[in-house]
Amino acid sequence: MTSVEIDYTKHAAVINLQNYLRVKCVHPDVNYDESISFLTAQATAIGLLAKTHLVSPKNPVLVVTWEGLQPELPTILLNSHMDTVPVEGTWRHSPFAAEIEDGMIYGRGAQDMKSASIQHLEAVRGLIAKGKRLKRTVHLSFVPDEEKGGEQGMREFVKTEAYHRLNVGFALDEGLSNAGEEYLVFNGEKTKWQIKIVCTGTAGHGSMLLPDNSGEKVRHVINRFMELRDKYRQQLVDDWSLTIGDITTINLTKLEGGTLTNIAPEKFTATFDVRLATTVNHELFEKMINRWCKEAGSGVTVEFESKEPHVAPTRIDESNAYWIAMKRAMESMSIPIIQRTMPATTDARFLRAHCPALNFSPMRRVPPMPHQSDEHLPLQVFVEGIQVYENILLAVANVK
């Protein structure tokens, strides 16, 4: 018997994904109106209540609700963001045409993360069509500003009474795809610190060896950061079991100062993007940075562009009934799972401070391509993910 090849291009969910990918919601001049209209129409077609909350100027959050049989119970939240990063580099396919070639759909947001938004909606649509009713209420949230850090989106939303009324007991947010056969589940994220070191000193002619030199000071600080960077990078080399999410990463991202080549400037500024591993003691790490600055000399100060608090990873053991239910649902589909720590930041960090939250996107057999040119996703993987979400919802929304 020969297997019948499925034509996914005619799948209703694929057509919905194409239409959503064609909605431009891209930074820096992002406008969410068309996305809100599209998603609200999808919810209405399913028969679900959709409500928009303006959490900051021009940054709406859409919440779609499927009420459960016991709405007083803590609810399930499936979160996704509406915005995408800008289009850069060379694309074989137009980034907003949602073209399909060789079983792949191409477009900005195909992986990050418009596909998940449609999968969430389609999973609920599928369960309702099959006559299923869940014990717990399920909310689908579609949020703004994630690609800029979420400060004007989810960070503000979780502070509102509207969010607290959702009574969220467990949340799923975006993960990453995997080139292998396994799904990746992330139970924690590294903490984002963006640090600016300002080094001031004596300005003067470039032919002199001036004392109290800002260049010497910034060199000392940069050396200390880069030495620590090398140490963490070596850990990855020495221990094959570690991933990038398990170690602290440090990158010098900006170096500013000087006007003319023949003038030693009064000030140099070095900016570092640091992502702290979940095991790092924040207080001790900050003291170490302050010590480096003191070693460099007088007139060296530390400023934080971002200094996020430590958020403990979500427990993935017997104490977390939602995780156990989700894990069993995956096992019933014979899909292996690998647990990791998210290397970058997502909106899940804001949710995780209030409830158990996992980063998960049902994408396998495809390399991760967030923010890359020709971002794409196999249609088979996309459709498979809808069934995965259905099974997960049946499990976690019926946890006793």
User: Given a cut of 60, is residue 101 above it in pLDDT?
Assistant: yes
pLDDT > 90: what percent of the chain? 96
Q: HSE on the CB side for 365, CA within 13 Å?
A: 11
Residue 5's pLDDT band (boundaries 50, 70, 90)?
confident
Annotated active-site residue in 112, 122, 145, 146:
146
User: Given a cut of 50, is residue 337 above it in pLDDT?
Assistant: yes
User: Given a cut of 70, is residue 3 above it in pLDDT?
Assistant: no
Q: Mean pLDDT over residues 65-74, rounded?
A: 98
Could you tell me if 162 and 41 lie in one domain?
A: yes
pLDDT at 6: 84
What b/e string do you get for 12-48 counting C-beta neighbours within 10 Å, with b at 16 or more?
A: ebbebbbebbebbbbeeebebeebbebbbebbeebeb
Q: At what angle do helices 114-129 and 12-21 cross, to 10 degrees?
A: 150
Q: What is the pLDDT of residues 134-154, one digit of tens each?
A: 999 999 999 999 999 999 999
Q: What is the pLDDT of residues 192-230, one digit of tens each?
A: 999 999 999 999 999 999 999 999 999 999 999 999 999
Could you tell me if 173 and 236 lie in one domain?
A: no
Could you tell me if 297 and 159 lie in one domain?
A: no
Tell which of 268, 287, 307 closes a domain: 307
Active site residue 256: no
Could you tell me if 197 and 111 lie in one domain?
A: no
User: Given a cut of 80, is residue 352 above it in pLDDT?
Assistant: yes
Cross-sheet strand order for the sheet of 300-307: 249-257, 267-276, 191-200, 300-307
Annotated active-site residue in 83, 145, 147, 189:
83
Active site residue 295: no
Write out the two tokens for 87. 């289009």
pLDDT at 400: 87
What residues have CB less than 8 Å from 67, skipping those under 6 apart?
49, 137
What is the rounded CA–CA span in Å between residue 17 and residue 11? 10
Residue 220's CATH number: 3.30.70.360
178: which DSSP letter? B
**Does residue 1 form part of some domain?**
no
**Does residue 3 form part of some domain?**
no
Could you tell me if 198 and 208 lie in one domain?
A: yes
**Does residue 339 form part of some domain?**
yes
Could you tell me if 294 and 352 lie in one domain?
A: no
Name the domain count of the chain: 2
Could you tell me if 170 and 111 lie in one domain?
A: yes
